[in-house]
Amino acid sequence: MASKAAAQAAKQLRVGIIGAGGNTKLHHIPKLQAIPGVDVVKIANRSEESAAKVCKELGVKEASGDWQDVIQDSSLDAVVIGVWPYLHRTLVLEALQAGKHVLTEARLAMNASEAREMYQASLRHAHLVTQVVPSPLTYDYDATIQDIIKQGTLGELLYIEVRAISNSFAEADGAPLTWRTDQRYSGLNIGVLGIFYEPLQRWVGDATAVQARAKTVVRLREDQQTGDLRTVHIPDHIDILAEMAIGAQAHIVVSSVIGAVPGFSKGYVLYGREGTLFVDLAAKKLQLGLKSEGGQLKDVTVAEGKIETWKVEEEFVAAIRGEGSIRRTTFEQGVRYMEFTEAVTRSIQSGCTVKLPLLT
């Protein structure tokens, strides 16, 4: 083990960071620094002052207020992109062109077209590793749920219910505008829709059609930079009916404006001919009710070896070193969830069912 660590250290991997937000400071920087032979050497943030502050906190050498300083630094092998979606396409394309491996925050892009362009660029630079930060919501349960489905325990899947409800009442008009509520920065991403759809993709695959209805309750928000009120174009409540490739119908609710929710507010229910699987993320429990046992929900014990932990940075580095491959999340997977998100928006705008995958 010691000799392996020494060999890794000899092959130093130099990483630059663009955007030092919460996830970057909590996960990416310290967890990259913990890997033998990896050196986080430069951070570019909105200002050199804010970058310098993070550098001091986390022991990084160089600070910059210009992302080009990271992209154009020929001494760097890889780039971590921690900014909002509005810059993902530009930074990914520039980084790949500069010969750098790329780990980018989710959501992958502003829309499906950008996502496809980024994926195609990754194929043209196939010698470089590209990865999207995955949804970690269901790490504790993913392997167990996949086993239950593969073993046929639920039988034919008939219906899936997904709830992503903040369980808080609507803010008043004039509440602060955030990047998630500002289409200039988030594009066609709607709240936490992508974060909740991605685990569903892991378990049962993609949707083949969606029909959506939406409501914008908080119509005006205050731009914190200018003090101006801005019209909000991203809905804060959506209902989606989706046809899944596996044959089940899914009902997905994403809402940040309803409170005192009875039952569960965050999680999934998978209904099959032979059983029902309940994933309550708020209560942190996994339950299974079998037809053969009267349908009573019982707790599922998740084996310790089935519980996955956050290993995004380890997977990224291992892939660069040729010691593994990207499993979560590839750019190709990112394109698929961006197409789903865009299909939801198209359905909201048209009032029609939208088929997947999108043709254009």
Tell whether 341 is covered by a domain.
no
110 and 20 fall within a common domain: yes
194 and 221 fall within a common domain: yes
Distance of alpha carbon 219 from alpha carbon 290, whole angstroms: 45
The three-point CA angle 84-187-82 to 5° equals 10
Distance of alpha carbon 33 from alpha carbon 258, whole angstroms: 41
Tell whether 29 is covered by a domain.
yes
94 and 149 fall within a common domain: no
Tell whether 63 is covered by a domain.
yes
105 and 150 fall within a common domain: no
97 and 130 fall within a common domain: yes
Distance of alpha carbon 286 from alpha carbon 298, whole angstroms: 8
Distance of alpha carbon 242 from alpha carbon 212, whole angstroms: 8
303 and 159 fall within a common domain: yes
Looking up residue 16, the CATH number of its domain turns out to be 3.40.50.720
Distance of alpha carbon 339 from alpha carbon 107, whole angstroms: 12
Tell whether 357 is covered by a domain.
no
**pLDDT score, position 360:** 75
Domain count along the chain: 2
36 and 155 fall within a common domain: no
84 and 118 fall within a common domain: yes
Cβ count within 10 A of residue 46: 12
Quick one: tokens of 40? 């986080």
What are residue 280's DSSP bridge partners? 267, 285
Of the candidates 109, 132, 146, the residue with the CA atom closest to the CA atom of residue 286:
146
Tell whether 31 is covered by a domain.
yes
Distance of alpha carbon 173 from alpha carbon 160, whole angstroms: 34
**pLDDT score, position 3:** 52
Q: Which domain holds residue 9?
A: 2-135+311-327
**pLDDT score, position 2:** 47
**pLDDT score, position 359:** 85
Looking up residue 229, the CATH number of its domain turns out to be 3.30.360.10
**pLDDT score, position 4:** 53
**pLDDT score, position 7:** 52
Distance of alpha carbon 105 from alpha carbon 84, whole angstroms: 8
Tell whether 335 is covered by a domain.
no
Q: Residue-wise pLDDT tens for the chain (360 aa)? A: 445 544 544 479 999 999 999 999 999 999 999 999 999 999 999 999 999 999 999 999 999 999 999 999 999 999 999 999 999 999 999 999 999 999 999 999 999 999 999 999 999 999 999 999 999 999 999 999 999 999 999 999 999 999 999 999 999 999 999 999 999 999 999 999 999 999 999 999 999 999 999 999 999 999 999 999 999 999 999 999 999 999 999 999 999 999 999 999 999 999 999 999 999 999 999 999 999 999 999 999 999 899 999 999 999 999 999 999 999 999 999 999 999 999 999 999 999 999 999 987
Tell whether 272 is covered by a domain.
yes
11 and 115 fall within a common domain: yes
Quick one: tokens of 289? 């009710």
116 and 159 fall within a common domain: no
Of the candidates 150, 133, 131, 134, the residue with the CA atom closest to the CA atom of residue 204:
150
74 and 163 fall within a common domain: no
Tell whether 344 is covered by a domain.
no
Entry pTM: 0.93
Confirm if 129 and 316 have CB atoms less than 8 A apart.
yes
250 and 304 fall within a common domain: yes
